A and B are shown apart, each in its own frame.
Chain A
Amino acid sequence: MDNDVPLVRARDLHVSFVSPDATIAAVNGIDLDLAAGEVLCILGESGSGKSVTLRALMALNPRRKTVLSGELSVGGYDIMSMSESDLSSVRGKVVSMIFQEPMTAFDPVFTIGRQISEAIMRHEGVGQGEAEKRALDLLEMVQVPSAKRRLKAYPHELSGGLRQRAMIAMAISCRPKLLLADEPTTALDATVQIQILLLLRRLRDELGMGIVFVTHDLGVAGEIADRIAVMYAGRMVEQGSVADVMARPLHPYTQGLMGATVHSGNRGERLTTIPGAPPDLRYPITGCAFAPRCSHASEICREALPAFRHRADDRSVRCIKLEEAA
């Protein structure tokens, strides 16, 4: 692949869900760039649009209810203009996803081996026997103990951690260029969580995949990511390198997130909370979406949407107060 073309390039990406009752503007204009081998972590609370953004990257939101717009290219494919059947050759092959809930993301009546080899047979053009052999290799690669036996197991026969590993094995089965991970560790306990993160980092190094990772866990973000993007109400509010964002969050919302979570930076301090609740995305928002919960907010914040400014220190932030200060 041409190294000048980014792995992911999204411009003004919008996603809204249409139902007879309401239209929900879940993602409102996102710009995203990701180079091969780079790990981006999207941070935000529930309903901030991070999972929706992730799914939009492979046009996986329910087709009948979703309106996608903007520019989006992934691995050189123009996702927006592709039909469902064209997309099916890209999904799993060029871009694939590790789903959030390993409990429900596997088909309960098919064996793990069948479900992994199904993807391999679809994209690699090999027969059942060869596909099953590769599935076995993959399970060993993600360190599933007694992999041969697990191949014949049904999802309910595996523990949560093993299911998550099997899910990762399935996602990387066709060596995708881009791996999307939707909170892959939230359902797991802390020790398994670390193992999974180390595994993902190793896979990135070995296979050179780009990874977009969604979480609301700052610790997880710090462990694996190169860059962090913080989302609020369907928009990006801050982006920068992990070290910068964690050490010196600029946006009041990011500061609030840091203050509300335990991480190395605030050990020994009292945790704070962000007052209020995220806005209802069924109604249009004027001005800064975070203004109603922001302690620094003034009239000017409510008047117009602040721009997402790129700063000299290679960070971007959406806050009018910071512009004033600069």
Chain B
Amino acid sequence: MLFYIFRRIIYMIPIALAVSLVCFMLIHLSPGDPIDAMVPADTPPDIVKQVRHDYGLDQPLPVQFAYWLGHVVQGDLGTSILRRRPVLPDLLTASGNTFVLAITGGLLGFLIGCIFGGIAGVFRGTWIDRILLGTAVAGVSIPHYWLGMVLVIIFSVGLHLLPAMGAGPGDTGTWAWDMDHIRFLILPALTLSVIPAGLITRTVRGLVSDIMGQDYITTLRGKGLRSWRIVQHVFLNAAPTVLAVMGLQLANLMGGSILVETVFAWPGTGAMLNDAIFQRDFPVLQATTLVLALFFVVLNLVVDLIQTAIDPRISRR
């Protein structure tokens, strides 16, 4: 098992390299010149040329990539063109905030999905199943930015119960696990949980009703196990697949909460990406994309390892 983990981590190196190359190239393939955004429109051409040279943008692309990668591996993710300061500290804060939101929304969705899906699977074909499945389909179908706005209108504007924007009092941008901050988390996390909740409901429902029909469940009944023991068997059989779906969902939430973060003005990577795109702040864009992509890769590895650990059918060699 240890060797397996080690080997899987070694395999990550080429993946990470490829990911960083794609992140780097995306910026250069997309239209728009970052220098245009930095200098006034009437700047003399020789000054534009000077600025371009200062940022190393006149070098051939492979050289730029090697230079950029060399700095990245040393922890230098570049300097924001707009804010004129290193990207890394801001990115760490923002990633932390996004992680808090994603993990809360994800776990909430996971919990709802497991409960709904479990019940629907056991009672497949009954009215309970139809209601829960209908809810799940609605959850996947509703645009979450719209749901976010509706929640804000009800709970913030109408009932004055919860704050509508930001990640804490005073807008410091740093997160803490206390009641003052958690109040700000409730609405965006709830909004974010809806899609994973729906997906996991459907996954768990399918798995549970499939497993309940397997021969070995009859064997378990045949040896006289009590129902709650049988439910344990069902869940342990469903776990590897549910976990894989959940891992991918969590990765999606990390990178895909831009809209929700924008609706709730949550100071995370989504907001950061949004700003960077509109202002052509390419070092920020590259760094953020890279961090999110690497997070995706690491999360996939973690899910794979957990799956290998809990499912005896997967070879550990």
Chain A positions within 8 Å of B, measured between CB atoms, are 58, 60, 84-85, 87-93, 96-97, 99, 101, 104-111, 118-119, 122-123, 154, 156, 170-171, 173
Contact = CB atoms under 8 A, between A and B. Distances in A.
A18 to B, nearest CB: 13
A109 B239 CA distance: 10
B224 A110 contact: no
Contacts of B215: 99, 101, 104-105
A87 B227 CA distance: 12
B226 interface: yes
Contact of A107 (B221, B233, B310): B233
B219 interface: yes
A170 B222 CA distance: 11
Given A92-B224, A93-B224, A154 B312 contact: yes
B84 interface: no
A104 B222 contact: no
B304 interface: no
A105 B226 CA distance: 18
Contacts of A85: 226-227
Given A106-B216, A154-B313, A92 B223 contact: yes
B225 interface: yes
A101 B214 CA distance: 11
Contacts of A173: 223
A109 B224 contact: no
B311 interface: yes
B236 interface: yes
Contacts of B312: 108-109, 111, 154, 156
Contact of B224 (A89, A106, A111): A89
Contacts of B222: 58, 60, 91-92, 96-97, 99
B220 interface: yes
B216 A104 contact: yes
Given A60-B218, A104-B214, A104-B215, A109 B313 contact: yes
Contacts of A88: 221, 224-227
Given A101-B215, A107-B216, A108-B216, A91 B237 contact: no
Contact of B223 (A108, A111, A122, A154): A122
Range class of the B interface residue count: 20 to 34
Contact of A105 (B216, B227, B311, B313): B216
5 contacts: A93-B224, A96-B224, A108-B237, A118-B225, A122-B225
B212 to A, nearest CB: 10
**Most A CB atoms within 10 A — which of B223, B226, B227?**
B223
A316 B311 CA distance: 52
Contact of A122 (B216, B219, B224, B311): B224
A154 to B, nearest CB: 4
Interface in B197-220: 214-216, 218-220
Contacts of B236: 109-110
Contacts of B226: 85, 88, 122
Contacts of B311: 109
Contacts of A99: 215, 218-219, 222
B116 to A, nearest CB: 21
A97 B224 CA distance: 11
Given A88-B227, A170-B223, 7 more contacts: A60-B218, A84-B227, A88-B225, A91-B223, A106-B216, A110-B233, A111-B312
Contacts of B223: 91-92, 96, 118-119, 122, 170-171, 173
Contact of A90 (B224, B225, B233): B224
Contacts of A109: 236-237, 310-313
A326 B218 CA distance: 45
A150 to B, nearest CB: 14
B224 A123 contact: yes
A106 B225 contact: no
Given A109-B312, A109-B313, A110-B233, A91 B224 contact: yes
Contacts of A60: 218, 221-222
Nearest to B233: A107
Instruction: Pick the most buried of B221, B222, B236, B237: most chain A CB atoms within 10 A of its CB.
Output: B222
Contacts of A97: 222
B313 A108 contact: yes
A72 B312 CA distance: 41
Contacts of A58: 222
A119 B224 contact: yes
B219 A105 contact: yes
Nearest to A61: B218
A146 B157 CA distance: 71
Contacts of B218: 60, 99, 105
Nearest to A108: B313
A93 B223 CA distance: 8
Contacts of B214: 104
